[in-house]
Structure 1
Amino acid sequence: MTVLRLVALPWLLLCGLLVAGSASAADAPAADDAPVQLQLDAPAFAPERIKVAVYLPPGYAGASGRRYPVLYANDGQDMAAVGLQPTLARLYRERAIEPVIVVAIRMLDDRASGYGLSDRAGARSLVGGSRIGPIGTCAQDYSAWVATVLVPYVDAHYRTHRTARGRTVLGWSLGALNAFNLGWQYPEVFGRVGAFSPSFWLAADRSSATAIQHTRLAQAMVDHGPGRAGLKFWFAAGTTEETADRDGDGINDTIDDVQDLLEGYRGADGFRARGLKQLGYSINLDYAGHPSRRADASLFLLPGGQHNQASWKRMLPLFLRWAYARPRQKPL
Structure 2
Amino acid sequence: MFRIIIVLCAVFNSLHCVTVRFNLKQLPRFYTPLNDKIFLAGSFNQWIPNDQRYEFNSITKSLTIDLPQSTTVEFKITRGSWSTTETWADGTARANRKLTTSNNLQSIDVSIEQWLDTAGRVHTATNQVYILDSNFSMWNHLPRTRRIWIYLPRSYSTDLNRRYPVIYAHDAQNLFDASTSFSGEWGVDESLDNFSQEMIVVGIDNGGSERLNELTPYPNAKYGGGQANLYLDFIVDKLRPYINSRFRTKPERENTAILGSSLGGLCSFYAGVRHEDIFGLIGIFSPSFWFSDDIYTYAAKHTFRGSPPRLYFVGGQLESSTMVSDVQRMINVLQNTTIEYKQNPSKVKLVVAADGQHQEWFWRREFPTAIKWLFP
TM score, norm. by length of structure 1: 0.69
The residue identity in structure 2 corresponding to 1:24 is D
Q: In structure 1, how many angstroms separate the alpha carbons of the residues matched to 2:263 and 2:175?
A: 16
Q: Is residue 281 from structure 1 mapped to residue 340 from structure 2 by the alignment? A: yes
In structure 2, the partner of 1:176 is 265
In structure 2, the partner of 1:114 is 214
Task: Give unmatched runs, 5+ long, in structure 2.
Answer: 1-33, 38-57, 61-125, 177-184
State the secondary structure of the residue aligned to 2:168: strand
Q: In structure 2, how many angstroms separate the alpha carbons of the residues matched to 1:199 and 1:108?
A: 18
Which of residues 55, 64, 67 in structure 1 aligns to 2:163?
67
Q: Is residue 135 from structure 1 mapped to residue 244 from structure 2 by the alignment? A: no
Q: In structure 2, how many angstroms separate the alpha carbons of the residues matched to 1:227 and 1:67?
A: 28
In structure 1, the partner of 2:301 is 224
Q: In structure 2, how many angstroms separate the alpha carbons of the residues matched to 1:309 and 1:228?
A: 35
Q: Is residue 87 from structure 1 mapped to residue 156 from structure 2 by the alignment? A: no
What do the CA deviations read for 1:37-62 (whole angstroms, capped 9, x no partner)? 3131112432x311110100111011
Q: In structure 2, how many angstroms separate the alpha carbons of the residues matched to 1:283 and 1:313?
A: 29
Which of residues 298, 318, 330 in structure 2 aligns to 1:240?
318
Q: In structure 2, how many angstroms separate the alpha carbons of the residues matched to 1:27 and 1:36?
A: 17
Which of residues 265, 283, 286 in structure 2 aligns to 1:194?
283
Q: In structure 1, how many angstroms separate the alpha carbons of the residues matched to 2:348 and 2:263?
A: 19
State the secondary structure of the residue aligned to 2:312: strand
Structure 1's 113 and 85: CA in aligned 2 closer, same or farther, altered over 3 A?
same
Verify the 8 A CA contact 1:164 1:188 in the aligned structure 2. Answer: yes
Identity of matched residues, %: 24
Structure 1's 258 and 221: CA in aligned 2 closer, same or farther, altered over 3 A?
same
State the secondary structure of the residue aligned to 1:276: helix
Which of residues 178, 199, 215 in structure 2 aligns to 1:100?
199
State the secondary structure of the residue aligned to 1:145: helix
Structure 1's 277 and 99: CA in aligned 2 closer, same or farther, altered over 3 A?
farther
Q: Is residue 254 from structure 1 mapped to residue 323 from structure 2 by the alignment? A: yes
Moved over 6 A (4+): none
In structure 1, the partner of 2:367 is 316
The residue identity in structure 2 corresponding to 1:82 is W
* CA drift at 1:187: 1.1
* CA drift at 1:86: 1.4
* CA drift at 1:281: 3.1
Which of residues 19, 38, 45 in structure 1 aligns to 2:142?
45
Verify the 8 A CA contact 2:257 2:279 in the aligned structure 1. Answer: yes
* CA drift at 1:283: 5.1
Task: Give unmatched runs, 5+ long, in structure 1.
Answer: 1-21, 118-125, 204-215, 244-252, 265-274, 285-292, 326-332
Q: Bigger relative contact order, structure 1 or 2, given CA contacts below 8 A and separation 6+?
A: 1
**Is the strand fraction higher in 1 or 2?**
2
State the secondary structure of the residue aligned to 2:340: coil
Q: In structure 1, how many angstroms separate the alpha carbons of the residues matched to 2:305 and 2:366?
A: 25
What do the CA deviations read for 1:192-214 (whole angstroms, capped 9, x no partner)? 100000011122xxxxxxxxxxx
Structure 1's 23 and 228: CA in aligned 2 closer, same or farther, altered over 3 A?
farther
What do the CA deviations read for 1:114-137 (whole angstroms, capped 9, x no partner)? 0011xxxxxxxx32234xx1132x
> Cα RMSD between the aligned structures?
2.3
Verify the 8 A CA contact 2:276 2:304 in the aligned structure 1. Answer: no
In structure 2, the partner of 1:57 is 153
Q: In structure 2, how many angstroms separate the alpha carbons of the residues matched to 1:151 and 1:105?
A: 11
Verify the 8 A CA contact 1:32 1:60 in the aligned structure 2. Answer: no
- Would you say how many aligned residue pairs link Structure 1 and Structure 2? 246
Verify the 8 A CA contact 1:194 1:234 in the aligned structure 2. Answer: yes
Verify the 8 A CA contact 2:153 2:193 in the aligned structure 1. Answer: no
What do the CA deviations read for 1:89-115 (whole angstroms, capped 9, x no partner)? 23x2xx3xx100000110013110100
Structure 1's 27 and 188: CA in aligned 2 closer, same or farther, altered over 3 A?
farther
* CA drift at 1:27: 8.4
Q: In structure 1, how many angstroms separate the alpha carbons of the residues matched to 2:304 and 2:211?
A: 28
Structure 1's 27 and 145: CA in aligned 2 closer, same or farther, altered over 3 A?
farther
Structure 1's 283 and 241: CA in aligned 2 closer, same or farther, altered over 3 A?
farther
